[in-house]
Amino acid sequence: GAVVSQHPSWVICKSGTSVKIECRSLDFQATTMFWYRQFPKQSLMLMATSNEGSKATYEQGVEKDKFLINHASLTLSTLTVTSAHPEDSSFYICSARSGRDTEAFFGQGTRLTVV
Amino acid sequence: GQNIDQPTEMTATEGAIVQINCTYQTSGFNGLFWYQQHAGEAPTFLSYNVLDGLEEKGRFSSFLSRSKGYSYLLLKELQMKDSASYLCAVLDSNYQLIWGAGTKLIIKP
């Protein structure tokens, strides 16, 4: 299957700082990328959907000014958690698909811990 | 509203067969996916059904009935490594993925 690379795999940051997470599709063009958050023992929660070259669509309750998403090319999307707080500590996962009716492939996930 | 239901947890014995059910009510339907997720890892793709019937892929099979809004994932010859969460997801009319909460499968020796 297609490969989606997410970096970093884990990060620890101080409260108030910003963290950037990258998601790259290595062998296909990702027209759509999804960002999810998953708290321990809970299901995936979609944060936002981004199409290349356009602004991301955020789910209700997700602060767009706090979670900045950029999808500038067909192979790269970034999620920046700004002014991180301990409650932002979670597992962040990106997924990408090349067409609207194809499966989405997931990155490895990023475990964020804010101290 | 859109809704996907699957059991929260199931237990099965190594070497046995287990069926994980998924029922859905969505605005439109453009396919159903099953993913496997081990604890602390990202989900991995297992199957995709868009037409009624059974799709077999090795030890895993997935079935779909669109008229009943129902799917199941069948795992045969269970191995300890199959202990994971299994997520059902439906593509709605807008090609948005709607996720179930996942079924935690526990395999016992």
Say whether pLDDT at B31 is over 90: yes
More confident residue, B68 or A3: B68
* Euclidean distance between CA atoms B105 and B109, whole angstroms: 13
Higher pLDDT, B97 or A112: A112
* Tens digits of residue pLDDT in B43-102: 999 999 999 999 999 999 999 999 999 999 999 999 999 999 999 999 988 888 889 999
Beta carbons of A48 and A34 less than 8 angstroms apart: yes
Residues in chain B within 8 Å Cβ distance of A42: 101
- Binary contact (B48, A103; C-beta < 8 A): yes
**Tokens at residue A78, please?**
């970034």
- Mean pLDDT (chain A, rounded): 91
Residue whose C-alpha is closest to residue B75's, from B44, B48, B107, B49: B107
pLDDT at position A59 is: 93
Q: Which of A49, A100, A108 sits opposite B42 (nearest CB)?
A: A108
Closest CB to A103: pick one of B33, B95, B101.
B33
| A·B CB contacts under 8 A | 46
Chain B contact for A44 (CB, 8 A cutoff): yes
Q: Does A93 touch chain B (CB under 8 A)?
A: yes
pLDDT in tens, A14-25: 999 999 999 999
Give exposure, A81-106, as e/b (b: 16+ Cβ within 10 Å): beebeeebbbbbbbbbbbeeebbbbb
Q: Which residue has the tokens 């998403």?
A: A69
User: B-chain residues within 8 Å CB-CB of A34?
Assistant: 97
Residues of B whose CB is below 8 A from A108: 41-42
**Given this model, what pLDDT does residue A60 score?**
92
pLDDT at A102 over 90: no
| CA dihedral sign of residues A104, A109, A112, B3 | positive
| A1, pLDDT greater than 80 | no
